Amino acid sequence: MITIRPKICAVIIFTVLFIAAPLLAAPSQGHLTVKRYNLARSRYNEIKFSPKTARLNNWQAAARAFVRAYKTNPYSDRAPASLLTLGHIYFKMYKRFNNKDYLHKSLTYYDDLASLFPKHPYADDALYHTARIYALTEGDYKDAALTLARLLAVYPNGDMLKKAARDLLRWKAAQARKEKARSVRVRAAAHNAKMALHMATPGPGMQTAVLKNLRHWSTKDYTRVVIETSKPVIYKGFLLKKQKDHPRRLYINLRNCRISRRMQKTIPIHNGLLRRLRSAQYKPRIGRVVLDMNSVSDYKIFNLEKPFRIVIDIKGVKRRARAQTLLPAPLVPKNPTLAQQLGLRIKRIIIDPGHGGKDPGAIGVGGLREKDIVLKVAKMLARKLRSRLRAQVILTRTRDVFIPLEERTAIANTKDGDLFISIHANAARSPKAHGIETYYLDLTNNKANMRLAASENATSAHNISDLQKILSSLMHNSKKQESAKLAHIVNRNLVDEMDKDYGGIKNHGIKKAPFIVLIGAQMPSILTEIAFITNPKTAKRLRQHKYLEDLADGLANGIIQYTKVLDLARR
Ligand SMILES: [Zn+2]
């Protein structure tokens, strides 16, 4: 679409209500907590007095006892001591049994203590031990020094002050030696494998940005987090402690970004892949958002503009891949697609009516609005699919409301959709333009396709070329082949259905372009432009209920045919 849209007002929609952090140590403590804590303490003492003879199961029993005491009341005044001791126990287990999982657990407990009980006298102990682990076992003097710097700044009256100051000098010196050695092999350092570096266009004069909003969606094996800042920032993502199949912490540093007290928070999330989302002012000029993950098998970070936002997509480690639970299909057609090979059925379809709320989409003849047309067609399509296919159908919006593009994809992924259909209407400068076209996500050199994507993405054409660069690194896991097939079948059926009743329907065919709404979708996904609302004849028809019903029929025919093609493989 090339129509000029009204300016989008800069209202920020807070779609996520932040959950308040848990209360700090409750004043009362149950008798049971004390009893269990004392029991755990005595188990631990037994090991401490005879460390040579203690076996792995003695250590594990002591750790379990502290976990039990902690869980009896996670807010009791014994909870910080339990967490601290768990950190110690697992660190000693790591030393004794040389298993990195224990080291990892140790860090987790220290971190839980520091973030859940920041005002407790043990909080600085946790930071101190964390820094020691970074330095002595990981050789990460930089993070060790940063952790201690934080300790000194936040706990100037704590009992760890002297030790922290002493170690800080040590780790800084070690870091300087390391950097000197590293400068000899500059080239190798440039490719630090664990570092995912993403550069965004820095704002003019590098003024400080402000963290405005954090949004998140999570299921058992998928998480999307969106960080919104007041202006573009340079950001880097780091995946920490990646060991075997237990990576777990991803953090994003936001350069020149301020995070206000109000936005510095810990959001505990107890369901799904994302365990906890935290934001804090890491250094005076660096804001940090930390994602504590249950697992990470793959992650991607990219940024969108207007407003500037950083999108983090994470896939977890699936306990059992769906492919393994199904027997191979007995009869496979020529050139079977992936979904056919896996014998997947279409159980849930996500339909996305484009635009909505403050974003009207394209404006057509007589003030016809894209957002209204596509919502009507989407609702009709949902009804038809429910009755004809008996599939579950989920709409990303059922009323005139604004939903950011990246949230629509997140809905499709978190609802575990098998297909994603985004419905739009086209616009052109020339009132003569008419017809139907369907897109799937891919890079493109075609100027017209890029213009359309820029319009649907509500960004500049310049941003599209940036998006293409990002996309080239995101594409390898997309369902491109399946999406192209879905696009082809749906487009063909839609054109046929409309041509049958009205004649002269122009088929613009299947096209590809970088649509934001399709980026990161984990299922075959398409964006279809069902009509040109800038064509007078079409606009007149779009005001008729019957024409919209026919459009919905055409789309439904296509989706149903696609599922039948898939089912061929199962017969
Ligand atoms: Zn649109």
Q: What residue spans define the domains of the chain? A: 31-184, 195-315, 324-568
Gap from CA of 76 to ligand 1 centroid (Å): 54
**Whole-angstrom distance, CA of residue 118 vs CA of residue 361:** 47
Gap from CA of 569 to ligand 1 centroid (Å): 35
- Rounded (5°) CA angle 522-526-532: 155
User: What is the value of ipTM here, to two decimals?
Assistant: 0.99
Place of tokens 């460390």: 51
pLDDT above 50 (res 113): yes
* 46-50, 143-147, 156-160, 506-510: range with highest mean pLDDT: 506-510
Give residue 219's pLDDT band: very low, low, confident or very high (50, 70, 90).
confident
Residue type for position 523? M
- With H, G, I as helix, E, B as strand and everything else as coil, classify residue 81: helix
**Whole-angstrom distance, CA of residue 36 vs CA of residue 449:** 66
| Among 31, 128, 129, 127, CA closest to 73 | 31
Q: At the fourth CATH level, which superfamily is domain 31-184?
A: Tetratricopeptide repeat domain (1.25.40.10)
Choice among 66-70, 128-132, 140-144, 547-551 with the minimum mean pLDDT: 140-144
> DSSP letter string over 342-369?
HT----EEEEEE--BTTB---B-GGG-B
Gap from CA of 280 to ligand 1 centroid (Å): 37
> DSSP letter string over 424-487?
EEE--SSTT---EEEEEE-----HHHHHHHHHHTTS-HHHHHHHHHHHHHHGGGS-HHHHHHHH
For 26-160, strand residue ranges (E) read none
Greatest extent of the chain over all pairs of C-alpha atoms, in Å: 90
**Whole-angstrom distance, CA of residue 66 vs CA of residue 44:** 9
Choice among 34-43, 129-138, 380-389 with the minimum mean pLDDT: 129-138
Q: How many CB atoms are located within 10 Å of the residue 290 CB?
A: 20
pLDDT above 80 (res 470): no
For 361-430, strand residue ranges (E) read 392-395, 419-426
pLDDT above 80 (res 244): no
pLDDT above 80 (res 269): no
Gap from CA of 550 to ligand 1 centroid (Å): 20
Is residue 535 a contact partner of residue 543, using CB atoms and an 8 Å limit?
Answer: no
Q: How many CB atoms are located within 10 Å of the residue 552 CB?
A: 24
**Whole-angstrom distance, CA of residue 548 vs CA of residue 378:** 10
**Whole-angstrom distance, CA of residue 149 vs CA of residue 143:** 10
Gap from CA of 478 to ligand 1 centroid (Å): 22
Predicted pLDDT at 473 = 66
| Among 458, 522, 553, CA closest to 224 | 522
pLDDT above 80 (res 181): no
- With H, G, I as helix, E, B as strand and everything else as coil, classify residue 441: strand
Predicted pLDDT at 323 = 38
Gap from CA of 421 to ligand 1 centroid (Å): 13
CA atoms within a 13 Å half-sphere pointing along the CA-CB vector of 463 = 19
pLDDT above 60 (res 28): no
Predicted pLDDT at 6 = 36
Sheet (strand 209-218) strand order: 257-258, 209-218, 222-229, 309-315, 298-304
Residue type for position 26? A
Gap from CA of 566 to ligand 1 centroid (Å): 29
Residue 436: which residues within 8 A CB-CB, separation 6 or more? 491, 494, 495, 498, 505, 506, 507, 508, 528, 529, 530, 531
Gap from CA of 354 to ligand 1 centroid (Å): 5
Q: At the fourth CATH level, which superfamily is domain 324-568?
A: Zn-dependent exopeptidases (3.40.630.40)
Gap from CA of 369 to ligand 1 centroid (Å): 10
* 224-228, 231-235, 288-292, 379-383: range with highest mean pLDDT: 379-383
Predicted pLDDT at 562 = 93
Gap from CA of 173 to ligand 1 centroid (Å): 57
In the CATH scheme, what is the code of domain 195-315? Answer: 2.60.40.3500
Give residue 538's pLDDT band: very low, low, confident or very high (50, 70, 90).
very high
Give residue 85's pLDDT band: very low, low, confident or very high (50, 70, 90).
very high
Beta bridge partners of 226: 215, 311
pLDDT above 70 (res 521): yes
CA distances from 291 to 24, 31, 61, 215, 239 (A): 22, 35, 30, 12, 10
Predicted pLDDT at 407 = 94
Choice among 13-22, 261-270, 283-292 with the minimum mean pLDDT: 13-22
Gap from CA of 355 to ligand 1 centroid (Å): 6
- With H, G, I as helix, E, B as strand and everything else as coil, classify residue 5: coil
Gap from CA of 371 to ligand 1 centroid (Å): 8
The pair phi, psi for residue 131, each rounded to 5°, is -60, -40
**Whole-angstrom distance, CA of residue 353 vs CA of residue 399:** 10
486 or 447, which is more confident: 486
pLDDT above 80 (res 371): yes
**Whole-angstrom distance, CA of residue 72 vs CA of residue 37:** 9
Gap from CA of 337 to ligand 1 centroid (Å): 29
**Whole-angstrom distance, CA of residue 177 vs CA of residue 146:** 17
Gap from CA of 1 to ligand 1 centroid (Å): 8
Residue type for position 356? G
| Among 467, 457, 435, 402, CA closest to 533 | 435
Gap from CA of 120 to ligand 1 centroid (Å): 53
CA-derived radius of gyration, the chain: 28
CA distances from 212 to 130, 261, 310, 323, 524 (A): 30, 12, 12, 41, 32
For 387-435, strand residue ranges (E) read 392-395, 419-426
Residues of the chain with pLDDT > 70, as a percent, come to: 81
Beta bridge partners of 288: 253, 280
pLDDT above 70 (res 476): no
